[in-house]
Structure 1
Amino acid sequence: MKYSKENFLIENVRAEEIAKKFGTPCYCYSFNKLKDNINKFKKNFSSINPLICFAVKSNTNSKLLNEIKKFGLGADVVSVGELMKALKAGISSKKIVFSGVGKTSEEIKYAISKDILLINTESQSEIFEIERIAKSLKKKVNIGIRLNPNTDAKTLSQISTGKKENKFGVDEKKLIDLVAYVKSSRNLGLKCLSVHIGSQILNHKPYEKMLKVLDRVIKKCDHNFDYIDLGGGMGIDYEGVNKKLNLKKYAQAIQKFVKKYNSKIIFEPGRSIIGNTAVLLSKVIYIKKNSQKDFIILDAAMNDLMRPALYGAKHRILPIKKLKQKANKSYEFVGPICESTDKFLNVNNFQKLNEKDFVIICDVGAYGMSLSSNYNMRPKAPEILIQGSKFKVINKRQKLKDLI
């Protein structure tokens, strides 16, 4: 995705053409960027040969999941709905890991019936419930146990998952007790030790610290795990300053770790696979001037892209047509919803905008559409997949009459 002269292109298609044809707001994905991300991820970790389970919560579009499946990826799911979506997209049940702290009995039964690879458990109560269900079905169910390593990922507090105050996983002492219990169970097979310390991580050092904790805990457990699930959390460059996680250094640390244990590594990437594949096209409805700055009121809102309102995330905003004139305007880009948090970004030195101009909100492939809602009775935006000079609708715009 780049400018060609003054026009913003998504692969070989002008973004303005898509905006005019399908209206705004509108999500647009680049197939080749998706392909490139997957291939780079595989290449960086080729020495480890991991099972890569795409985090479905980051993007639940069935057509995109089917494309991801074609590259050999599995799925990490956190609800029965996501599990159904993954299976419908053609992802093998033997490449699906079911995570999450609050799986219901019905969800557990469904997962067992589909014979998925693993149910990653997060509490003693959940293990007891799975054992009860497995016993009633006269089955042996393969599970993992998630460790909370008390490791600070140095990311946003709202997306930190690996510290002791977070709700995820069990502490070291509890894990050792649970390992002993599961090993003695006739209806449970202990296959995996799981960990996930947070999201949008751009420094390999928290991962190295996490691996040291895992090393210590595995020795204490005295159990050979078939799988070590290292979760995901790899960040992307939202700010456009080329700040990236050093995957090679992370891979080297994992190589040293796996030499000690005959375990297969599982990854659960979401954002690093899909995040920078998409942009959200939007139109300027009004420009509201005041003494300090101009408010650019867009037709996209917090229901279309929740991340800025939810935890202050910043997504770059670009004009759909780049002008040669000097960029010196101060704008606050906001949505039309009746909430003060319905705002996207404050920008200095932006080129002059006019009402009805189009803009691009960048890097919205992860937790963009999947977090969207019908708040204020607003229909959800369409999704368009672009490959080369071709494009196709992979999710139609909702119609108001269907909502009402």
Structure 2
Amino acid sequence: MKTPFVTKNQLEKITEQYPTPFHIYDEKGIREKARALNKAFSWNKGYKEFFAVKATPTPAILKILKEEACGADCASYVELLMADKCGFDGANIMFSSNDTPKEEFLLAKKLGATINLDAYEHIAFLSALTETDDFEFPKTMSLRYNPGGVFAMGTKIMDNPEDSKFGMTHEQLLDGILQLQKYGVQHFGIHSFLASNTVTNDYYPELARQLFEFALEIREKTGVTLDFINLSGGIGVNYRPEEVENDIAVIGDGVRRVYEATLTANGMGQVKIFTELGRFMLAPHGLLATRVLHRKKTYRTYIGVDASAVNLMRPAFYDAYHHITVLGKENETAREIVDVTGSLCENNDKFAKNRSLPVIEPGDLLVIHDTGAHGFSMGYQYNAKLRSAELLLKEDGQVRLIRRAEKPEDYFATIEGFDFE
């Protein structure tokens, strides 16, 4: 069973000022998670969490994480601007993009961000910018690694890196380091992302083992001792209540043991460890609050709510599970099988399908769990729906509006030749 960080009474009071639907985040939980992560990797002197901005691109959240010693991982021009405006300096910005326009590379270089190259071919692309846009290769760069094949760990994890559009091959990365040295790059890191949303304490240590062994090969074949190894994301959350959540202390210790056996034992005990844990850091600390509008019964029973896939795309896009709590009815034994739906003109606009829930009536308040990452950020405006507000439940129990809900005039603001008035 999942317990929301807000009660029915709290949320009813909040909705008097801020109508549903809205996303609400738990400041206390976010800070505790960041501190637990930093403690788990405190054995590594250069450790840094670069929070994946794409997961929750909300300045108030980013500023909390900055206060908790996190950096920012950016994937676009506007994410770079946001990180800069939130006070992250270049040393605390990782730029991990793909199919990247030149303007984004130029801005990353201007800000002093660490550029994490996704493609071997981008080396030639950047070289051309030195001729046309006065680009200078930075002294430190990172390369994204895709080992291909299948990443397997018994039956717990099996992803197919070879199907992924991200990263470069083993040989491309080795040659890339040699090529970048010719352009004056002196310090290097590698980055890899081999599996998504893993709910096991074993993923990071196994990923680390593979990357640490590759680091030894890089030193042998290029003469370069890496400055850092970025384990990226992939540590997931227990979206389903029967799943056991990851233990970051166990994960951090697992990486430490592999680090000491592989890197420290071979004279590379100074290599920094970086992470980019957007989902792990934020997902459990956000809820989507929505109110029931209608019941409908045809071949199934449908519970219609005022949120839709524009507020939370994951169930429609990935058929992803998000737990739902009917506030005030947590202990009711009477249950029914229902679909919980939004109002979009798409049949996949469903937050739950054939879900056993307490008997729900119009006016009930529901919270959809684990929406703190890849929730609001994946929103869109199909059916001319407007993006919802974002609220922050502060540590002192007060609620702060951190992004207002869109208004119709916002939707029309970018249209030329149309008089909204």
- TM-score relative to the length of structure 1: 0.91
Q: CA deviation at 1:325?
A: 4.0
Pick from 109, 120, 126 the counterpart of residue 124 of structure 1: 120
Q: CA deviation at 1:190?
A: 4.2
Cα separation, partners in 2 of 1:323 and 1:204, compared to 1, 3 Å: closer
Q: CA deviation at 1:307?
A: 0.6
Q: CA deviation at 1:246?
A: 3.8
2:161 partner SS: coil
Q: CA deviation at 1:301?
A: 0.5
Alignment of 1:3-402 (within 5 A): 10=6, 14-49=10-45, 50-116=47-113, 118-134=114-130, 137=134, 139-141=136-138, 142-150=140-148, 152=151, 163-186=161-184, 188-222=185-219, 223-255=224-256, 256-257=258-259, 258-259=263-264, 260=266, 261=268, 262-291=270-299, 293-322=300-329, 325-387=332-394, 388-402=396-410
Cα separation, partners in 2 of 1:11 and 1:133, compared to 1, 3 Å: farther
Single out whichever of 264-273 and 140-149 deviates more from structure 2.
140-149
Paired positions, count: 393
Q: CA deviation at 1:38?
A: 0.7
* Distance in 2 (alpha carbons) for counterparts of 1:82 and 1:160: 31
Task: Describe the superposition over 1:232-251 as per-residue Cα deviations: whole angstroms up to 9, x where unpaired.
Answer: 12111111235122434432
Task: Describe the superposition over 1:236-268 as per-residue Cα deviations: whole angstroms up to 9, x where unpaired.
Answer: 111123512243443234223242422111111
Q: CA deviation at 1:160?
A: 8.9
Single out whichever of 196-205 and 293-302 deviates more from structure 2.
196-205
Task: Describe the superposition over 1:2-57 as per-residue Cα deviations: whole angstroms up to 9, x where unpaired.
Answer: 86xxxx65289711222232111111111101111111111222212411100000
Letter in 2 for 1:401: E
Task: Describe the superposition over 1:200-259 as per-residue Cα deviations: whole angstroms up to 9, x where unpaired.
Answer: 111243433323332332232221111111111211111123512243443234223242
Q: CA deviation at 1:183?
A: 2.1
1:53 partner SS: strand
1:14 partner SS: helix
* Distance in 2 (alpha carbons) for counterparts of 1:47 and 1:12: 41
* Distance in 1 (alpha carbons) for counterparts of 2:130 and 2:6: 49
* Distance in 2 (alpha carbons) for counterparts of 1:273 and 1:317: 20
1:15 partner SS: helix
Contact kept, 8 Å, 2:282 with 2:372, in 1: the verdict is yes
Contact kept, 8 Å, 1:327 with 1:349, in 2: the verdict is no
Q: CA deviation at 1:347?
A: 5.0
* Distance in 2 (alpha carbons) for counterparts of 1:337 and 1:347: 19
* Distance in 2 (alpha carbons) for counterparts of 1:342 and 1:131: 46
- TM-score relative to the length of structure 2: 0.87
Letter in 1 for 2:397: S
* Distance in 1 (alpha carbons) for counterparts of 2:405 and 2:175: 51
Q: CA deviation at 1:102?
A: 1.4
Unmatched runs of 5 consecutive residues or more in structure 2: 413-421
Contact kept, 8 Å, 1:153 with 1:197, in 2: the verdict is no
Letter in 2 for 1:263: V
Contact kept, 8 Å, 1:227 with 1:266, in 2: the verdict is yes
Cα separation, partners in 2 of 1:144 and 1:9, compared to 1, 3 Å: closer
Q: CA deviation at 1:369?
A: 0.6
Q: CA deviation at 1:324?
A: 5.2
Task: Describe the superposition over 1:271-290 as per-residue Cα deviations: whole angstroms up to 9, x where unpaired.
Answer: 11111111111111110013
Contact kept, 8 Å, 1:57 with 1:77, in 2: the verdict is yes
* Distance in 2 (alpha carbons) for counterparts of 1:391 and 1:249: 34
Q: Structure 1 segments of 4 or more deviating over 6 A?
A: 159-162
Q: Percent identity?
A: 25
Contact kept, 8 Å, 1:147 with 1:172, in 2: the verdict is yes
Q: CA deviation at 1:128?
A: 1.7
Q: CA deviation at 1:398?
A: 0.5
Letter in 2 for 1:48: N
Letter in 1 for 2:118: E
